[in-house]
Amino acid sequence: MTRYQTGLWRLRRSIAPHRGRPAMFRTFAAAFLLALPAAPLLAADDGLGAATVAVQAIAPTADGRARVSECTGALIAPDLVLTAGHCLDGIAAPSQVAAFAYDGDRPKAPPLRVVRFARHPDHVVGWRERAGDPSTRRAEIAADLALLKLAAPAAARPLALAPASAGAPSLAAGTGRDGPGADARSGRLKLTAATEVRFATGEGPRIAFASLARPACRGDSGGPVARDGAVWGVVAAILKARGGCGARIVVTPVDPASDGFRRMRAAVD
């Protein structure tokens, strides 16, 4: 049994420990753990790549099936993952979500088991499913955060959190699809420069916008945006996406001193 098969078996057991669950639960993330073709090694990134994880959540639907959501996250403590709140929309238990650490640019088994999770207290479930301009959705975007508490510390060194700065060159990480085409794959870790960082003006919660050297795609939501190895925000949405990809992103800034973040952190500790 390969390490990928071993990880998949464990994930099936952790998410579907009882008979009678839908088959989708027993096959959760099967495609994700398939071996990917070799790719060039990641460039120096101040630890961002090593601390980035893939996040997969599975939510049962009314027709007895399930919806699988692929996202990205980052370790901000040995046993704590920061991601986007909408990545967990629909799930009700920690057994419905798992994180995957990386070996280079590829996910490795076994998955990192989640024992608790918490969304930002002001998170609006389903906000991304409704049409609207970012300028009118600032409250929803600013609260689009979540934390995952892991059963055991991960091996990678976690990232620090830092204040956001307009115009500062940053680096974004994602584990989503590698392109808009039908042959695009999910799961490979990608790092890309984030430039033209600016913040929304006028009244309302603070949100940011950035341009990427390489387009973000479906599954990159929740990915960390960092400067000098410290995370200042997470990817909330892609602007004017085509085929699920786009080079302009909306970023949710992270403020660990805010009341919302402190309450979210307390909920998983």
265 found inside a domain: no
Per-residue pLDDT averaged across 237-254, rounded?
92
Regarding whether 165 and 49 lie in a shared domain, the answer is: no
Instruction: Tell me which residue range forms the domain holding 65.
Output: 3-150
Q: Name the one residue in this structure whose structure tokens are 């027709």.
A: 63
214 found inside a domain: yes
Q: Rounded distance, CA 237 to CA 144, Å?
A: 10
Residues 224-233 have pLDDT tens digits of: 999 999 999 9
Regarding whether 8 and 134 lie in a shared domain, the answer is: yes
DSSP state of 218: T
130 pLDDT higher than 80: no
7 found inside a domain: yes
What's the burial of 18, exposed, middle or buried (CB within 10 Å: 0-12/13-18/19+)? exposed
Regarding whether 180 and 135 lie in a shared domain, the answer is: no
Regarding whether 236 and 166 lie in a shared domain, the answer is: yes
CATH number of the CATH domain containing 8 = 2.40.10.10
Q: Name the one residue in this structure whose structure tokens are 């998949």.
A: 8
Per-residue pLDDT averaged across 244-251, rounded?
94
In SS3 terms, the chain reads as CCHHHHHHHHHHHHHCCCCCCCHHHHCCCCHHHCCCCCCCCCCCCCCHHHHEEEEEEEEECCCCCEEEEEEEEEEEECCEEEECHHHHCCCCCHHHEEEECEECCEECCCCEEEEEEEECCCCCCCHHHCCCCHHHCHHHHHCCCEEEEECCCCCCCCCEECCCCCCCCEEEEECCCCCCCCCCCCCCCEEEEEEEEEECCCCCCCCEEEEEEEEEECCCCCCEEEECCEEEEEEEEEECCECCEEEEEEEEECCCCCHHHHHHHHHHC
Regarding whether 183 and 67 lie in a shared domain, the answer is: no
| Spatial contact of 97 and 148, defined as CB atoms under 8 Å apart | yes
261 found inside a domain: no
Residues 249-259 have pLDDT tens digits of: 999 999 999 99
Q: Rounded distance, CA 177 to CA 174, Å?
A: 9
Residues 146-172 have pLDDT tens digits of: 999 999 999 999 999 998 777 778 999
- Rg of the chain on CA atoms, in Å: 17
| Spatial contact of 234 and 124, defined as CB atoms under 8 Å apart | no
Q: Which pTM does this prediction carry?
A: 0.84
Rounded to whole angstroms, the maximal C-alpha distance in the chain is 57
The least confident of 4-8, 76-80, 250-254, 258-262 is 4-8
Regarding whether 144 and 165 lie in a shared domain, the answer is: no
